[in-house]
Amino acid sequence: AASDVPAAFFLVGEHVRRFPEVARRVAAAGHEIGNHTLRHRKLHLRGPRRIREELERTHELIFEATNRVPRSFRAPHGYRNPFVGVATRRLAYTVFGWTFGVWDSDPRVSAEEIRARVRRKLRPGAIILLHDGDGYDPHGDRRRTAAALPGIIADARSAGYTFRPLGELVA
């Protein structure tokens, strides 16, 4: 983990299928890996079969690429319904949301603005939603968020914060 900061990456299954080496690098760096569905579809209007397929296929793809069993799930856009609960319990997942997002996936937002937005909202125990690209485009631009990270980390540390693995929040 860069700067000794643990991160959790919720991976889209189709991206793992197309770029398994990226998933392997994330795992090798020691980051937590979670399931973010096969196609990054909003789940609140989906039925039980489609939801189960989205989660189970992604579970398999992550394991095939990383040899790690994902133990967590984050719903695309945060949209869920009762069938999501059934599917996540079947896979023994812990479901995570986030405390705040900063719209870092918007191409109009600069690295400096991403950093400023995090600084304004940072609170103890916060789960910050950042993106490693576009959930729908496996070639999505990651540069602005990546450029903002050193400043975000420095700001948080100078304010007295430490970074902990996501799983420790439920331990």
Q: For the chain, which residues make up each domain, given as ranges?
A: 2-161
pLDDT tens per residue, range 9-27: 999 999 999 999 999 999 9
Q: What is the number of alpha carbons within 13 Å of residue 111 lying toward its C-beta?
A: 12
Dmax of the chain from CA atoms? 47
At residue 4, the pLDDT reads 85
Q: Which CATH number fits domain 2-161: 3.90.1300.10, 3.40.50.300, 3.40.50.1110, 3.20.20.370?
A: 3.20.20.370
pLDDT tens per residue, range 66-92: 999 999 999 999 999 999 999 999 999
Only one residue has tokens 């729908």, namely 136
Which residue intervals of the chain are DSSP H helices? 13-18, 20-28, 48-66, 82-90, 111-121, 143-158
pLDDT under 50: residue ranges of the chain: none
Q: Are 104 and 134 in contact (CB under 8 A)?
A: no
Q: Report how far residue 71's alpha carbon sits from residue 91's, in angstroms, rounded to the nearest whole number.
A: 8
Q: What is the pTM of this model?
A: 0.90
Q: Report how far residue 80's alpha carbon sits from residue 87's, in angstroms, rounded to the nearest whole number.
A: 11
At residue 134, the pLDDT reads 67
